[in-house]
C-alpha cells in the first residue's frame, strides 16, 4: 500500500498502517507528477489519500485506473460535482473498493448509540442536536493555506471540521428529508466559520446543528438524542439517562497521541476494518455511497447560502 498526501492527518494513517500486516511501499506529497510516478512505478494494491480536498478525486481516479483500492480521507471531494466524477469512475472498476474515512462511526459511543436506537428498546426518536465549538486561528490557515481557499477546500467549518457531526446525526437519526440552514463569516475569512441548521429526518424526528471555529477553545463535540424513554448524550463518552432514573455510561477509547486529541482514536479501527474487508472479500461499511451522504448534506447547506 501507499500513502498519497503528507498533510496533518497522514500521521494517523501511517501509525495505523504500522500496526497492520501490510507493506508500505511508498509515500508521495500528492503533486500531479509525484503521485502518478508512485502509482506507475510501485503499483500499490491499496492507496490512502490524505491530500487537500480538491486533490481527492483526481488522485483517487488515477489510483483506480491503475488497479488500486482506495481509502479516502473525508470529504469525498471539495464539491459535489467532483465527487460525482469519482462515483462514475468507481462504477467502471467494480472489483475495487473505495472507502471513506468517517472514523467517528467507529467510536464506541457511536456504535453503542446506533445499536440502542436500532433495537427499539428506548422507543421512538423524538429529536436531537449536535454542536461543534472549536477554535481555528490565523496560524491554522497560514500553515495550510488551502484550508481557507474556497476553490480548494470547498468551504470552512462545515466541510472541514463539522462534516463528521453532520454524518453522525444522519447516521443515528435517519435520512435527512429536508433542511434549513445559515452560514456565517464572522471572522472575515473566505470560508465560513459558523454554521447552523435544522434537519428534518425521514422518520419524523428533527435535529438542530450548530458548528463554529470562532470559539475560544476546542470544546468536546456534543450529540444529544431524545427518545420516548431516554436521553442519549455523546460528549466523548456516551451517557444514557433513562426515564426511570437509571444512568448508564459507555466510556470512549482515548487517543494515544498519534494525532490530535479531537480526532479521537478510531482511525485505527476504521483502517483495520478496511483491510479486513478487503481480505475477506466483503463490502466496506463506509463505501463511496455512504461517504457521499454527508457531502450531499454539506452541498445543500452551501447551496442555500450562496
Kindly report the CATH number that applies to the domain delimited by 2-102: 3.40.50.720
Residue 260, pLDDT score: 60
Dist CA 46 CA 297 (whole Å): 28
Considering the domain 108-252, what is its CATH architecture? Answer: 2-Layer Sandwich (3.30)
Domain layout of the chain by residue ranges: 2-102, 108-252
Dist CA 60 CA 276 (whole Å): 21
Residue 134, pLDDT score: 97
Dist CA 203 CA 199 (whole Å): 12
Q: What are the tens digits of pLDDT across the range 181-215?
A: 999 999 878 999 999 999 999 999 999 999 999 99
- The answer to whether the 2-102 and 108-252 domains have the same CATH topology is no
Residue 32, pLDDT score: 77
Supply the angle between the helices 163-173 and 108-119 in degrees, to the nearest 10: 20
* Strands in the chain per DSSP E: 2-4, 26-28, 46-49, 69-73, 98-101, 125-133, 176-184, 194-201, 206-212, 222-227, 230-235, 237-242, 247-250
Residue 259, pLDDT score: 53
Dist CA 160 CA 8 (whole Å): 13
What's the length of the chain? 306
Q: Catalogue the long-range contacts made by 115-122 (C-beta closer than 8 Å, 24 or more residues apart).
A: 116/232, 116/240, 117/172, 117/173, 117/225, 117/227, 117/232, 121/229, 122/227, 122/228, 122/229, 122/230, 122/232, 122/240
Residue 31, pLDDT score: 86
Q: Which grid coordinates belong to 82?
A: 467532483
φ, ψ (nearest 5 deg) of residue 122 = -95, 5
Residue 258, pLDDT score: 56
Residue 262, pLDDT score: 63
Three-class SS of residue 62?
helix
Residue 264, pLDDT score: 67
Residue 261, pLDDT score: 63
Kind of pairing between the strands at 98-101 and 46-49: unpaired
Residue 7, pLDDT score: 87
In the chain, which residues have pLDDT < 70? 256-264
Amino acid at each position: 500500500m501507499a500513502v498519497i498526501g503528507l498533510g496533518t492527518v497522514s500521521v494517523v494513517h501511517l501509525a495505523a498502517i504500522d500496526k497492520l500486516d501490510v507493506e508500505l511501499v511508498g509515500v508521495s506529497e500528492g503533486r500531479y507528477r509525484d503521485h502518478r510516478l508512485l502509482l506507475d512505478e510501485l503499483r500499490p494494491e491499496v492507496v490512502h489519500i490524505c491530500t487537500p480536498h480538491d486533490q481527492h478525486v483526481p488522485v483517487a481516479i488515477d489510483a483506480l485506473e491503475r488497479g488500486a483500492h482506495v481509502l479516502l480521507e473525508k470529504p469525498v471531494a471539495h464539491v459535489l460535482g467532483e465527487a460525482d466524477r469519482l462515483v462514475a469512475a468507481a462504477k467502471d472498476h467494480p472489483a475495487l473498493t473505495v472507502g471513506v474515512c468517517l472514523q467517528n462511526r467507529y467510536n464506541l459511543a457511536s456504535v453503542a448509540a446506533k445499536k440502542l436506537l436500532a433495537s427499539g428498546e428506548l422507543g421512538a426518536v423524538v429529536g436531537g442536536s449536535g454542536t461543534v465549538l472549536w477554535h481555528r486561528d490565523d496560524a491554522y490557515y497560514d500553515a495550510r493555506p488551502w484550508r481557507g481557499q474556497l476553490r480548494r477546500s470547498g468551504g470552512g467549518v462545515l466541510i472541514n471540521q463539522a462534516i463528521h457531526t453532520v454524518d453522525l446525526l444522519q447516521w443515528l437519526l435517519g435520512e435527512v428529508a429536508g433542511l434549513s440552514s445559515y452560514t456565517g463569516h464572522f471572522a472575515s475569512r473566505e470560508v465560513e466559520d459558523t454554521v447552523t441548521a435544522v434537519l428534518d429526518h425521514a422518520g419524523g424526528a428533527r435535529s438542530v446543528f450548530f458548528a463554529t471555529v470562532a470559539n475560544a477553545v476546542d470544546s468536546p463535540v456534543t450529540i444529544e438524542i431524545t427518545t420516548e424513554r431516554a436521553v442519549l448524550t455523546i460528549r466523548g463518552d456516551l451517557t444514557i439517562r433513562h426515564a426511570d432514573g437509571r444512568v448508564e455510561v459507555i466510556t470512549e477509547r482515548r487517543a494515544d497521541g498519534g494525532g490530535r486529541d479531537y480526532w479521537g482514536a478510531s482511525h485505527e479501527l476504521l483502517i483495520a476494518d478496511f483491510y479486513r474487508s478487503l481480505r475477506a472479500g466483503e463490502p466496506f461499511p463506509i463505501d463511496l455511497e455512504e461517504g457521499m451522504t454527508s457531502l450531499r448534506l454539506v452541498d445543500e447547506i452551501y447551496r442555500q447560502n450562496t
